[in-house]
Amino acid sequence: MANAYQTLGEFIIDNQEDFKYSTGELSRLLSSIRLATKVVNQQVNKNGLVEDILGDVGEDNVQGEAQKKLDVFANDTFIKALTQREVVCGIASEENEFFIPVESKANSHLSKYVVLIDPLDGSSNADVNVTVGTIFSIYRRVTPDGTPVTIEDFLQPGNKQVAAGYVVYGLSTMLVYTTGNGVNGFTLDPSLGIFYLSHPNMTFPKDGNIYSINEGNYVHFPQGVKDYLKYCQKSEGDRPYTSRYIGSLVSDFHRNMLKGGIYIYPSGTNHKYGKLRLLYECNPMAYICEQAGGKATDGYQRIMDIDPCELHQRVPFFCGSENMVNKVEEMMAEYPDDKIDYVDLKEKVMNQAK
């Protein structure tokens, strides 16, 4: 039974038996993430006070985006925390082109888990003191224990996740995660450096009145999305809905889960298949969304059933309150030609790689 004074560490231990692969290793992995989160939080809170943590590094990451100094710091911090405790056999980061094999000093390659991470979601907001976050996803490896990890260990559909979570670095710092038994949120007490259970059993309302989308890209949106936005803005019944868009997936998702709403990043923007990465952003947030009673799709099909074809694959993303996602899917269905054929896409990627 959850209580208001339960710490994250106590919660992980108390609920370890709910996880069918329980060996203690996943608990140590989550503890590593907790430690890295506190280090990153400390640095984020110095934003504006410490000059050398602001601004761009002067280089682009693998995504072609300008790297922020906080991006690099967060990436290094999480990789260091996960490798030093020898709890994972591989790490993939949005900031790195290739995955990172992790060898245990005592038992090489024996760890069972791989982690995929977006170390600092919404980092373009950091220099203007707007909320940023971290997103992580955990899978059991599919290659044999004791062997080096391969790309197959990372290219798993989201329905194979064993845990996922995010961190919000805002007015207060919150860590929200699931291991497939509901969603729970923990708030950091900065005076003690301890996360306490503050939001047990988090759920999406079935309906909401908030829609989150960058409407500046409207002219490039698929027609189904345009139709849905017109629906949201029409004065009828409980509409018009309220438009709220921060530009940080973690922040927009977190607000919508608490208040009821839908987040949309469709195709047809500057990126053919949308901006968000399937493995680092969409899959973990979809897992959390579904565990909280919400729904996550690409406008036509469940996000977590998509078979990934590459490490930094991008997909359209619609997630939030179930009835709102159902409505936009209903409108998207009127334009079946906009549906992405992921089987065909994977074949093309594999042929290009030969």
**Range with lowest mean pLDDT among 58-62, 68-72, 86-90, 113-117:** 58-62
- Using DSSP bridges, classify how beta strands 261-265 and 295-297 pair: parallel, antiparallel or unpaired: unpaired
| Residue 204 counted as domain residue | no
**pLDDT above 50: residue 201:** yes
Same domain, 130 and 252: no
**188 annotated as a binding-site residue:** no
Same domain, 193 and 214: no
**121 annotated as a binding-site residue:** yes
Same domain, 192 and 315: no
Domain final residue, candidates 172, 199, 226: 199
Same domain, 168 and 313: no
pLDDT (average), residues 164-192: 94
Measured in degrees and rounded to the nearest 5, phi and psi for residue 144 equal -65, 140
**287 annotated as a binding-site residue:** no
| Residue 205 counted as domain residue | no
**pLDDT above 80: residue 24:** no
| Residue 22 counted as domain residue | yes
| Residue 282 counted as domain residue | yes
pLDDT (average), residues 224-229: 97
DSSP state of 217: G
Give me the CATH number covering residue 323.
3.40.190.80
Torsion of CA 102, 249, 306, 201, to 10 degrees: 90
pLDDT-derived band at 168 (thresholds 50, 70, 90) equals very high
256: its two tokens: 């919508």
**311 annotated as a binding-site residue:** no
**60 annotated as a binding-site residue:** no
pLDDT in tens, 32-48: 999 999 999 988 887 65
Same domain, 91 and 185: yes
Contacts of residue 347, Cβ cutoff 8 Å, sequence gap at least 6: none
Same domain, 256 and 276: yes
**82 annotated as a binding-site residue:** no
Same domain, 190 and 241: no
Same domain, 230 and 146: no
> Which contacts qualify for 231-234: CB closer than 8 Å, 24 or more apart?
231/327, 231/331
Same domain, 64 and 107: yes
Tell me the residue range of the domain where 276 lies: 210-353
| Residue 135 counted as domain residue | yes
Q: To the nearest whole number, what is the mean pLDDT of the chain?
A: 89
Same domain, 152 and 236: no
Same domain, 58 and 115: yes
Confirm if 186 and 195 have CB atoms less than 8 A apart.
yes
d(CA 137, CA 118): 9
Q: What pLDDT, on the 0 to 100 scale, is given for residue 212?
A: 98
**245 annotated as a binding-site residue:** yes
Q: What pLDDT, on the 0 to 100 scale, is given for residue 234?
A: 96
Domain final residue, candidates 132, 164, 199: 199
**pLDDT above 70: residue 109:** no
Give me the CATH number covering residue 30.
3.30.540.10
**217 annotated as a binding-site residue:** no
d(CA 350, CA 354): 7
C-alpha distance from residue 204 to each of 183, 280, 294 (Å) = 10, 21, 5
Count of the separate structural domains present in the chain? 2
pLDDT-derived band at 338 (thresholds 50, 70, 90) equals very high
Enumerate the β-bridge partners of residue 132.
Answer: 169
| Residue 3 counted as domain residue | no
pLDDT (average), residues 310-329: 97
Same domain, 127 and 34: yes
| Residue 94 counted as domain residue | yes
pLDDT (average), residues 7-23: 78
Domain final residue, candidates 177, 199, 221: 199
**214 annotated as a binding-site residue:** yes
More confident site: 224 or 126: 224
